[in-house]
Structure formats: C-alpha cells, structure tokens
Amino acid sequence: KVLHGEVVAVGPGARKDNGDFIPVQVKVGDKVLLPEYGGTKVNLENDEKEYHLFRENDILAKIE
C-alpha cells in the first residue's frame, strides 16, 4: 500500500564524504507518495494533527 502525503518541512540537505553539498529534492507543499511502513510518528504540543518524519530517500515519488 502506498500513502499520499504533503511535505510540511524540510531539512537543509546533506554532505557527501568529500564535503560536497547535496541539496534537498523536495520542498514544502510538494505532494509525495510514501511507503505504508516506515517513518517516525510525531505529535506536536497544542497540535492535533499527526505527522510522520521520512528520510528523503524513503519518498517513492513526487506528484507534479
């Protein structure tokens, strides 16, 4: 089963072993497909929404 999601926040990116910067390929507002299992469930104070953290390489596809 594949889940639909919307990106609500992204990190700064990563660095290769040689120090070169790897930019993030998704941005806030992007619609994405995610695996049913994986990610980390997060609940924020004073927010009834349920959030899940995924690594960028866990994203199956970005929906245009």
- Digit-by-digit pLDDT tens for the chain (64 residues) are 899 999 999 998 989 999 999 999 999 999 999 999 889 999 888 888 889 999 999 999 999 8
17 DSSP assignment: T
Superfamily for the 2-10+21-63 domain? GroES chaperonin (2.30.33.40)
- Please tell me the pTM assigned to this model: 0.80
Q: What is the pLDDT of residue 45?
A: 87
Question: Residue 35's pLDDT is what?
Answer: 94
Instruction: Give the start-to-end residue ranges of the domains of the chain.
Output: 2-10+21-63
How confident is the model at residue 63, as a pLDDT?
A: 94
Compute, in degrees rounded to 10, the torsion defined by CA atoms 13, 17, 21, 25: -50
